[in-house]
Structure 1
Amino acid sequence: MGNWVLENSFDFRGREIRWGVRGRGKALVIVHGTPWSSFSLRHLISGLSDRYRVYYYDLLGYGQSDKSDGDVSLGIQNEALTALLDFWELDRPVVIGHDFGGATVFRTHLLNGKRYEKLVVIDPVAISPWGSPFFNHVNKHEEAFSGMPDYIHEAVVGAYIKTAAHGNLDQETIEGIIEPWTGEKGKAAFYRQIAQADQKYTDQIQGRYKDIKIPTLILWGEDDVWIPLEKGEKLNGLIPGSQLITVPESGHLVIEERPRELITEIEKFIERPAP
């Protein structure tokens, strides 16, 4: 991950959010999930920036952004995205969210009233209940996990993220995902963001998906064991006029496993005239 650097800094209520921008053309904002960072969106950013101006950042408590002890829940991530959209002076961009990023872009639209031209969500955290057995166990026992020796912590994180993929991840990818969660600050931040995860943040908006009027594309890894495809099918039924496309031989980390297929579908969706 040493070559993945977010060049810019934004002050959000006294906490630093690191961000970047690439390309020219229509504005597109892309938001990562957990336990990832913008590093895991690098393939999408690279491919989409050939045709669009792509804005990306690390969520509070993730990647290169502020990892101090504080609120990193879904309850603050939509506030941070709202502030960034204002800072970037973007009105009606195309917005893409993966995992927690999906929940964040939904909340920013439904609760903060931010307008999008079109919306793409990739295996989003959107339908209750959610959370893997490991995720829910850590959620209840943060202190016990955060006190583990570094080498055990890194092994745990490595084993955990591998379950998000359908196939094998290469070592460079694994190391890039783990790196932000190393060291004392990184280790504490990893367990903090899980401990602060709460289903109430999706419960607040689940009943409002029917109010989404913008063109919406739902992309899903067919073999996602973290958030099964059935959740995507239910979400598709809740958002009027939304389109669900599944990606074969991919899991929750479809953004790492099948980025070219995602880029193709996203570009087709963006260029299609809105009804």
Structure 2
Amino acid sequence: MSETTETAVSRTAVRVDGETASYLTVDTAEHDGPAVLLLHGTYWSRVWLPVLDRLAEAGLRPLAVDLPGLGRSGGELTLETATVPALADWVARFASALDISGPVAVAGHDIGGAVAQHLLVHDGLQVSRLALVNSVTYDSWPAPHVARFRGPGTTADDVLAARREAVTAALAGAATEQRVADYLDPWTASRVRRSWMAMAGAADSRYTLDLVPALRRSTTPKLLIWGENDPFETLEYAERFASEIPHTTLIRIPDAGHIPTENAPGRIARALTDFFTA
């Protein structure tokens, strides 16, 4: 993926914990719009690229950050630093490094959705609105293709082939050779593959299950956007979340998979901008 595109999406960085925290944003004349933190999970910030310019056009300041050790960010995750609570702490420090204070909107995809849910009850960051896009919830995770990297017998060298298979399935009808290559690019670095294995090893559904009581008490507006054909995070979990967690709206995206931002970027961007600017 090029570092700058014709839509004025650019990649920049800030230092967090002494390492580079890389993030995608949009160059506009006005940089003081309401910030929206966009969190990825077992992929990287590339999942948010199709909607960034539309969020900026609505007056928002989208910030799609690469978690430490993943994507273009520096550092390397360990089993301790790759847990959902530890990643939520890191995101709060990332926001502080950008001088983001006060209520902030957060969106999370995949395991990034677990981090986003954790931020909702986090003392260090006040979340004004929460959006989850094909996110892990309840005990829906880790998915089998991720969980198999938790045990012995797999190495960092096994990750790239497994990621190619998972990315191709997740992109569904949007999968092309170039797009798959874009998504796979960070995993050509052994450091990133090791970080991904740490995230897989630290994946534990208790981190979302333990949040359910707090989510039920929360009055924060919540939006679920779900690709209906997701074989990993199935629609049934989204429907359960919407029925059990107050102040939640569910938008279904037909003919979309686990990364629906690639299948229906216009519709998802409209849903996010309507929600975050309400």
TM-score bin (small chain)? 0.7 to 0.9
Describe the SS at the equivalent of 2:246. coil
Counterpart in the other structure of 1:202: 208
Alignment coverage as a number of residue pairs:
266
Counterpart in the other structure of 1:255: 261
**Which residue, out of 177, 182, 185, partners 1:179?**
185
Counterpart in the other structure of 1:9: 14
Do the aligned partners of 2:174 and 2:262 also contact (CA within 8 Å) in 1? no
Do the aligned partners of 1:61 and 1:72 also contact (CA within 8 Å) in 2? no
The farther-off stretch of 180-189 and 72-81 is 180-189
Counterpart in the other structure of 2:41: 34
Residues 176-196 of structure 1, C-alpha deviation per residue, up to 9 Å, x if partnerless?
Answer: 111111132232223222112
Q: Quick one: structure 1 residues 269 and 127, their matched pair in 2 at CA, closer, same or farther if it must change by over 3 Å? A: same
- The alpha carbon displacement at 1:104 in A equals 1.0
Counterpart in the other structure of 1:226: 232
**Which residue, out of 113, 117, 126, partners 1:102?**
113
Q: Quick one: structure 1 residues 32 and 256, their matched pair in 2 at CA, closer, same or farther if it must change by over 3 Å? A: farther
Describe the SS at the equivalent of 1:249. coil
- The answer to whether the aligner puts 1:236 opposite 2:242 as a matched pair is yes
Describe the SS at the equivalent of 2:126. coil
- The answer to whether the aligner puts 1:60 opposite 2:71 as a matched pair is no
Do the aligned partners of 2:140 and 2:233 also contact (CA within 8 Å) in 1? no
Do the aligned partners of 1:27 and 1:90 also contact (CA within 8 Å) in 2? no
Runs in 1 of length 4+ with deviation above 6 angstroms? none
Q: What's the TM-score, normalizing by structure 1?
A: 0.88
Q: Quick one: structure 1 residues 238 and 11, their matched pair in 2 at CA, closer, same or farther if it must change by over 3 Å? A: same
Do the aligned partners of 2:138 and 2:205 also contact (CA within 8 Å) in 1? no
Counterpart in the other structure of 2:148: 137
Do the aligned partners of 2:146 and 2:200 also contact (CA within 8 Å) in 1? yes
Q: What's the TM-score, normalizing by structure 2?
A: 0.87
CA distance in 2, matches of 1:213, 1:42: 29
Q: Quick one: structure 1 residues 264 and 168, their matched pair in 2 at CA, closer, same or farther if it must change by over 3 Å? A: closer
Residues 19-64 of structure 1, C-alpha deviation per residue, up to 9 Å, x if partnerless?
Answer: 3432445313232323211122111112211121222211122101
Q: Quick one: structure 1 residues 168 and 203, their matched pair in 2 at CA, closer, same or farther if it must change by over 3 Å? A: same
CA distance in 1, matches of 2:2, 2:163: 19
Do the aligned partners of 2:37 and 2:104 also contact (CA within 8 Å) in 1? no
CA distance in 1, matches of 2:157, 2:108: 32
CA distance in 2, matches of 1:211, 1:172: 44
Ranges in structure 2 where 5+ consecutive residues have no aligned partner: 5-9
The farther-off stretch of 203-212 and 18-27 is 18-27
Over the matched positions of the two proteins, sequence identity in percent amounts to 20
